[in-house]
């Protein structure tokens, strides 16, 4: 026993050395960049904060210390400086912490209190301390977001943060009426918010394993103040005049982790409170085209009835809406069970009139199209979502997500279509009437099981999901087409009178297993396997009338029944390396897809098999706590949709026929992004600039042929060489010795789109160039002013046509301001002035100046009751107008929109938070 003890004592120093690491670094002043000698560097055990070791810096500010392997908290202290705290894992290797910058306490307090700056960057999360940004009494969250550097909110409530559209709004981490983020931003009060956190929301599995699988969404989390989580608060608003009305109500009853909320909105104005995340999906126009207002890019989809979205008002037409919802969330048993549920009801009616005029490129010539459409739509939907998180034990948990909706839609339109030659000679005309009704529904269930194994960083996850959707649609199509010869004489007529019966059934199942294996403290491997099964069945039937005037003669050439079935097996491996400054991951997966396509009418089938590689790489490098650069690359495939491969003619517009292509291949996209971020605390400057680039091989595009009669037949095809590139950025800085803040940055986009026109490959190059300048001034209890100028230039060139060249300058000017007057009066106004240059295709500018104003009087001690008189479009110049380019064509659109009207409204903000509201001193809450 003595020999063993003696041997242990003799070998212990060698054993200790083998299990120790040498920690070195240098401590400096962050402002004057001078070294700090005799600073205390302590190493605390992370488990119980006991002191393991400490040292002091030498005369050059350097330090070095050997400590045993383990988990520690490094604490650096120096008189009159803020402490530096940093978590550290020590193994049997040396670690150089390099320069550690300390901030003087006086400067730190000045930056928080005097300058009222409250922006923090934690990894990929940007935090805004809400009380440090001045807003008027009873302001909403949307009002608050407009004040935050790097965040923009448009008139529809759509939020763009750090160059990306925000897709999720969370309240204390829970989805709050996730179907419609504006419910939270336009109804929750700004003074109930402690923090606004902007981040990239990862999938549940990525958040658990620490591996980014590329499935991220730009999200905002609203963290509530403690006093907002006691009692209740809400808003009641009623306004109307003549035929316009707007009624809103919302109540929130929060108690600790329990949240209970209800709202209702009914309106005949643009304040519908409807979902901006799906804007453009509603199908307001006959050719089912959606436009990205920020870039001018256009997506054209077949009118397949596959849209089972929430129903949205995209700003065109005159809406009448009713929307209501309930939210409940809570957790029990010390957080072991966490439940969040939402129910939403939505009924949206839209009446619209659209006048489209297009210039379309041909070889060394152009032709023109004009279409005038009157349409009405009515959509009703019920939606229910639920999410349950269960902490099974200290190492395992389960998340269950459920979502379902059911609804119906009615749609009717009457269109007059005219095609002209380059000499403006009429080639053909048509009158088309359409009616349709559908019922639709969908449900999905997702179960995620997560388990932490014995070794730190060793985990196992299993994700199971199931999705189902169904739509059944009946409709009628009547079309009369007239065709003219070169002399303008009528030579042919064509009549279509049919009944349409369409149905679509889709279901999918997916199982994904992920295992993480640590290789060391700073690196690990991730293994994954995924099995996906997808089935879809589409039936499209067209009937002509018989002699008895009944629709029972099946049109074989326009009818089909297809099944679509594919199985995907995917295996992947990724490597991740982590240090204090760098986060590197790379790897990929191999996928095999077997595909079977069945034509049930013809009793034929086709089989395909694809083998794909999906590469992935990401590097996040932190220069310091406030500066980082992030690079990411992903490769992925896109399968053709069932409508695109179904070899069937869509004759919903007989002058513009659309044909599926059973020979379509899947596309593969390379996507890369580079973003640089910097925030300087002491001078309140925020910079974020970056770019994205994507290149698609075998992209599914269109080929169209135009015959002598002016009839266009389009078909889906694969093309190569399509790319898009964007450059975006924002630099926001407070102007010294003033209350003004200046923000500026580029919005640049370039597109290359390949298609075929009459058998010729047509390359369309589009550039949308803009620069945004924003200047705002806010003074509490005095005034709020925001000025925005955004000059732009758009161009589009087609390779097959030397005639169709379109480029024009434009600019938008906007001002939004309010002034606080004596006796609790407030006057406010805003205007938007949009200027467009004339072009060869469009010889009018169609400049628009939209000016609105209001006068408000607030009552009661806390100004919670407001009476407002407002007028919309004072100059009566409002007109719906848009201009954009796509596929070798340029189009001008006029649509029905609101004109001049007035509104008298009364709004009451109520609150009972179970205690005195916090007082504000210099933008910092004092409790």
Of the CA atoms within 13 Å of residue 919, those in its CB half-sphere come to 1
- The token pair at 115 is 């300058």
Q: Which of 148-162, 309-323, 531-545, 778-792: highest mean pLDDT?
A: 531-545
Q: Does residue 699 carry a pLDDT above 70?
A: yes
Contact yes or no for 112/138 (Cβ under 8 A):
no
- 642 pLDDT tier (thresholds 50, 70, 90): confident
Q: Does residue 547 carry a pLDDT above 80?
A: yes
Q: Does residue 665 carry a pLDDT above 80?
A: yes
Contact yes or no for 605/598 (Cβ under 8 A):
yes
Contact yes or no for 259/171 (Cβ under 8 A):
yes
Answer whether 0.85 is exceeded by the pTM. no
Nearest Cα to 817, choosing from 774, 777, 874, 763? 777
- pLDDT of 427-463, one tens digit each? 899 999 999 999 999 999 999 999 988 888 889 999 9
Nearest Cα to 849, choosing from 838, 834, 837? 834
| Rounded mean pLDDT, 204-208 | 68
Contact yes or no for 221/167 (Cβ under 8 A):
no
CA distance 205 to 187: 32
Q: Does residue 158 carry a pLDDT above 50?
A: yes
Q: Does residue 120 carry a pLDDT above 90?
A: no
Contact yes or no for 207/450 (Cβ under 8 A):
no
* pLDDT of 115: 35
Q: Does residue 307 carry a pLDDT above 60?
A: no
Write phi, then psi, for 133 (nearest 5 degrees): -115, 120
What residue has token string 């690196």? 523
Task: Return the HEC string of 91-108.
Answer: CCCCEEEEEEEECEHHHH
Rg (CA), the chain: 31
Nearest Cα to 304, choosing from 648, 639, 565, 598? 648
Contact yes or no for 399/207 (Cβ under 8 A):
no
Distance of CA 224 to the CA centre of its chain: 23
- pLDDT of 320-374, one tens digit each? 999 999 999 898 887 789 999 999 999 999 999 999 888 877 766 777 889 999 9
- pLDDT of 13-70, one tens digit each? 333 444 578 899 999 887 666 888 888 898 887 765 667 788 889 888 999 988 888 8
DSSP 225: P
- pLDDT of 718-739, one tens digit each? 999 899 999 988 888 878 777 7
- The token pair at 605 is 């089938």
User: Quick one: 48 exposed, middle or buried, by C-beta within 10 A (0-12, 13-18, 19+)?
Assistant: exposed
What residue has token string 């999410």? 387
Q: How far is the CA of 801 from the CAs of 360, 761, 762, 797, in angstroms?
A: 10, 11, 9, 8
What residue has token string 């459920």? 402
- The token pair at 486 is 């070169």
Q: Does residue 203 carry a pLDDT above 80?
A: no
Q: Which residues contact 392 (CB under 8 A, 6 or more apart)?
A: 398
What residue has token string 């690079």? 631
CB atoms < 10 A from the CB of 606, how many? 12
Nearest Cα to 28, choosing from 39, 18, 19? 39
* pLDDT of 602: 79
- pLDDT of 221-252, one tens digit each? 988 887 777 778 888 999 999 889 999 998 88
- The token pair at 568 is 């995907």
CA distance 802 to 784: 50
- 218 pLDDT tier (thresholds 50, 70, 90): confident
Q: Does residue 287 carry a pLDDT above 50?
A: no
**Considering the chain, what is the average pLDDT of its residues?**
81
Percentage of the chain exceeding pLDDT 70? 83
* Cα angle 217, 344, 413; round to 5: 90
Q: Does residue 800 carry a pLDDT above 50?
A: yes
């Amino acid at each position: 026993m003595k020999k063993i003890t003696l041997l242990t004592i003799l070998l212990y120093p060698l054993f200790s050395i083998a299990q120790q690491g040498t920690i070195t670094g240098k401590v400096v002043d962050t402002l004057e960049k001078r070294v700090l000698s005799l600073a205390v560097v302590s190493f605390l055990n992370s488990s119980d904060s006991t002191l393991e070791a400490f040292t002091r810096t030498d005369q050059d500010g350097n330090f070095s210390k050997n400590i045993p392997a383990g988990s520690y908290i490094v604490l650096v202290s120096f008189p009159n400086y803020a402490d530096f705290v940093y978590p550290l894992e020590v193994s049997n290797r040396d670690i150089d912490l390099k320069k550690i910058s300390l901030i003087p306490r006086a400067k730190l307090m000045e930056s928080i209190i005097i300058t009222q700056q409250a922006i923090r960057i934690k990894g990929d999360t940007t935090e805004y301390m809400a009380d440090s940004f001045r807003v008027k009494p009873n302001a909403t969250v949307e009002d608050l977001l407009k004040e935050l550097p790097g965040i923009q909110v448009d008139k529809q409530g759509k939020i763009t943060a750090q160059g990306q559209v925000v897709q999720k709004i969370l309240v204390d981490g829970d989805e709050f009426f996730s179907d419609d983020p504006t419910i939270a931003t336009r109804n929750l009060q700004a003074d109930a918010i402690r923090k606004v956190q902007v981040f990239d929301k990862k999938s549940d599995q990525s958040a658990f394993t620490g591996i980014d699988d590329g499935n991220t969404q730009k999200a905002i989390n609203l963290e509530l103040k403690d006093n907002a989580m006691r009692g209740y608060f809400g808003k009641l608003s009623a306004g109307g005049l003549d035929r316009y009305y707007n009624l809103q109500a919302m109540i929130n009853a929060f108690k600790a982790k329990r949240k209970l909320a209800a709202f209702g909105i009914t309106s005949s104005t643009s304040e519908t409170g409807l979902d901006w995340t799906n804007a453009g999906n509603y199908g307001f126009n006959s050719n089912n085209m959606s436009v990205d207002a920020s870039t001018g890019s256009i997506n054209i989809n077949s009118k397949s009835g596959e849209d089972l979205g929430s129903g949205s008002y995209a700003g065109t037409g005159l809406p009448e809406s009713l929307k209501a919802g309930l939210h409940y969330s809570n957790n029990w048993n010390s957080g072991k069970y966490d439940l969040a549920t939402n129910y939403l009801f939505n009924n949206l009616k839209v009446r619209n009139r659209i006048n489209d005029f297009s210039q379309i490129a041909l070889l060394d010539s152009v032709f023109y199209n004009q279409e005038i459409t009157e349409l009405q739509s009515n959509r009703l939907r019920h939606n229910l979502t639920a999410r349950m998180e269960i902490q099974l034990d200290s190492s395992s948990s389960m998340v269950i997500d459920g979502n379902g909706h059911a609804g119906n839609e009615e749609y009717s339109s009457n269109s007059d279509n005219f095609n002209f030659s380059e000499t403006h000679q009429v080639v053909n005309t048509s009158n088309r009437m359409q009616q349709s009704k559908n019922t639709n529904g969908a449900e999905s269930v997702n179960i995620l099981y997560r388990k932490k194994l014995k070794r730190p960083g060793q985990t196992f996850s299993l994700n199971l999901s199931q999705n189902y959707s169904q739509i059944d649609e009946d409709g009628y199509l009547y079309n009369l087409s007239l065709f003219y010869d070169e002399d303008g004489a009528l030579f042919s007529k064509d009549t279509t009178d049919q009944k349409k019966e369409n149905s679509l059934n889709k279901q999918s199942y997916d199982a994904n297993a992920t295992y993480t294996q640590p290789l060391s403290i700073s690196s690990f491997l991730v293994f994954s396997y995924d099995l996906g099964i997808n089935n879809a069945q589409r039936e499209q039937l067209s009937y002509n009338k018989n002699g008895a005037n009944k629709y029972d003669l099946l049109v074989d050439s326009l009818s089909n029944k297809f099944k679509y079935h594919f199985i995907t097996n995917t295996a992947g491996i990724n490597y991740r390396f982590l240090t204090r400054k760098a986060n590197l991951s790379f790897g990929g997966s191999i996928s095999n897809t077997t595909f079977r396509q069945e034509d049930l009418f013809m009793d034929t089938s086709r089989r395909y098999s694809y083998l794909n590689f999906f590469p992935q790489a990401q590097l996040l490098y932190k220069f310091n706590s406030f500066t980082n650069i992030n690079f990411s690359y992903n490769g992925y495939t896109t399968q053709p949709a069932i409508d695109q491969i179904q070899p069937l003619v869509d004759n919903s517009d007989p002058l513009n026929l659309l044909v599926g292509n059973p020979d379509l291949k899947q596309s593969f996209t390379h996507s890369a992004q580079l973003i640089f971020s910097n925030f300087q605390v002491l001078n309140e400057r925020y910079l974020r600039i970056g770019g994205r680039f994507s290149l698609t091989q075998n992209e599914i595009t269109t080929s169209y042929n135009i015959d002598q009669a002016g009839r266009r037949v389009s078909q889906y095809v694969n093309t190569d060489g399509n790319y898009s590139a964007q450059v975006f950025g924002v630099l926001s800085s407070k102007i010294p010795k003033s209350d003004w803040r200046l923000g500026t940055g580029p919005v640049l986009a370039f597109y290359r789109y390949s298609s075929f026109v009459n058998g010729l490959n047509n390359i369309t190059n589009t550039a949308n160039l803009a620069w945004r300048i924003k200047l705002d001034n806010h003074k509490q209890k005095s005034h709020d002013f925001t000025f925005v100028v955004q000059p732009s230039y758009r161009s589009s060139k087609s390779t097959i046509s030397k005639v169709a060249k379109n480029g024009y300058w434009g600019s938008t000017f906007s001002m939004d301001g309010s002034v606080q007057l004596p006796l609790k009066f407030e006057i406010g106004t805003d205007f938007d002035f949009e200027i467009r240059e004339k072009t060869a295709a469009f010889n009018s500018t169609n400049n628009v100046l939209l000016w609105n104003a209001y006068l408000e009087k607030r009552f009661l001690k806390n100004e919670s009751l407001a009476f407002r008189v407002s007028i919309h479009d004072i100059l009566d110049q409002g007109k719906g107008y848009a201009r954009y380019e796509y596929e070798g064509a340029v189009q001008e659109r006029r649509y029905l929109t609101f004109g001049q009207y007035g509104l008298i409204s009364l709004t009451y903000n109520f609150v009972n938070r179970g205690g005195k509201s916090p007082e504000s001193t210099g933008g910092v809450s004092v409790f």
